[in-house]
Amino acid sequence: MRIHFTLNGTVRQFDCEPGDSLLTLLRRAEIWSVKHGCETGECGACSVLIDGVLTPTCVMLAAQAEGHSLVTVEGLATGQQIHPLQQAFIDTGAIQCGYCTPAMLLAAKALLDRNPRPTEADARAVLGGVMCRCTGYVKPVEAILRAAALLRGETPPLKEQAPTATRVVGHPEPKVDAVRLVKGRPVFTDDMHLPGLLHAALLTSPHAHARIRAIDVERARSLPGVHAVLTYRDVPRVVYESGGQSYPNPLPYDQVSLDSKVRHVGDRVAVVAAETPDIARAALDLIRVDYEVLPAVFDPDVAQQPGAPVIHDEADAVKIEDAQHNLATSVHAQVGDVEKGLRESDRVFERTYYTSQVQQAHLEPHVCLTYWDEDDRLIVRSSTQVPFHTRRSLACR
């Protein structure tokens, strides 16, 4: 279907599918300032101004934009001259990762368009629809009030810094990538679209503990648009540490990319690479897996009892502390004489505390992009990280 709406002052025509969200359409049109976050209307990162009102685009059909007027951050600057709001966000240090910044700028613009003299409470209220997991809201509120003053022709001073004896440390510095971030430039991994890019989808385990007796991927492999379907039979067994991110990878090495055994619900069973995400997902439905479901453990104390199911029974795991009792590793730390401290305490409370797995929950989706560059280096780029380079020989090993 074909739709028309005004985008940053110009009437534009777009082709889309009836089910396409406005977010999908705008990003397909390379309006990269519109960020892809939760897709459920909660984070606000995808918001644009529609007829002057901040509106999330992930929960709106593209067709609903027909005839309306949309403003994105690409429409804020005048030529090379950035908008006072953008400048104020830079000046006040209101940006960290910058993923929420475009939506914050638009929320602020909607406010200043109708109220040139907002109070701090007004500025706080208007940011209520945009989640920020890094900066918080103190600096963006300061930026909005500063921009309002700039737009009124005033020259507000930046907040006084405490005097220091240093020339750099303790003094405000604009972020090196601040201008690109306030312009909503495609600097995030999810913004990168390379020609011929294949999309991956994972088939994951529905069982907490199971062995793969058989796996049939032939129908998935023959689906048009599918380039590869990988299972444990297709990838080298390279053990690594599931919980570590640093280099060198800390012990224990308790994981391989794809295994013939799954050890938790959501564990990886197969990977599909296809020309579109939809084809990749369709291929997952064609994979048939025969599982031998094994007894599972769901409690850390039960898991360490004699006779509990052994989750890591593989022979090639390295330095698991006590595989027979499902203890991967343990950490001991002591500051001072703990026993003495306990003896001398007025009260001693002994409790056991449990917490669920914690995710740092950045707004940008988890994305990983890999490609060979012109110097034959394997580039691996993942969410909120700068690219790092690996020699092809190292990647192959």
Gyration radius of the chain over CA positions:
26
Nearer Cβ to ligand FES, position 98 or 252?
98
Q: How far is the CB of 9 from ligand FES (least distance, A)?
A: 24
Binding flag, residue 184, ligand FES (CB under 6 A):
no
Binding flag, residue 175, ligand FES (CB under 6 A):
no
| Contact indicator for 289, 203 with CB cutoff of 8 Å | yes
Closest CA to 92 of 35, 175, 28: 175
Nearer Cβ to ligand FES, position 177 or 292?
177
> Cis omega before residue 250 (within 30°)?
no
Out of 85, 95, 145, 271, point to the residue binding ligand FES (CB under 6 A): 95
Q: How far is the CB of 299 from ligand FES (least distance, A)?
A: 35
Binding flag, residue 22, ligand FES (CB under 6 A):
no
Out of 22, 46, 60, 147, point to the residue binding ligand FES (CB under 6 A): 46
Out of 48, 61, 85, 100, point to the residue binding ligand FES (CB under 6 A): 100
Nearer Cβ to ligand FES, position 43 or 258?
43
For the chain, give percent helix, strand, coil, nearest 5: 25, 20, 55
Binding flag, residue 143, ligand FES (CB under 6 A):
no
Binding flag, residue 107, ligand FES (CB under 6 A):
no
Q: How far is CA 2 from CA 13, 69, 107, in A?
A: 7, 16, 29
Q: How far is the CB of 23 from ligand FES (least distance, A)?
A: 6
Binding flag, residue 271, ligand FES (CB under 6 A):
no
Binding flag, residue 58, ligand FES (CB under 6 A):
yes
The interface region with ligand FES, picked from 38-46, 142-150, 217-225, 328-336 by CB under 6 A, is 38-46
Query: Which ranges in 306-391 belong to alpha helices (H)?
Result: 338-344
Q: How far is CA 217 from CA 7, 214, 263, 269, 290, in A?
A: 45, 10, 21, 11, 12
- CA–CA separation, 154 vs 144, rounded Å? 14
- CA–CA separation, 295 vs 277, rounded Å? 34
- Chain positions contacting ligand FES, by CB under 6 A: 36-39, 41-46, 56, 58, 95-100, 132-135, 363
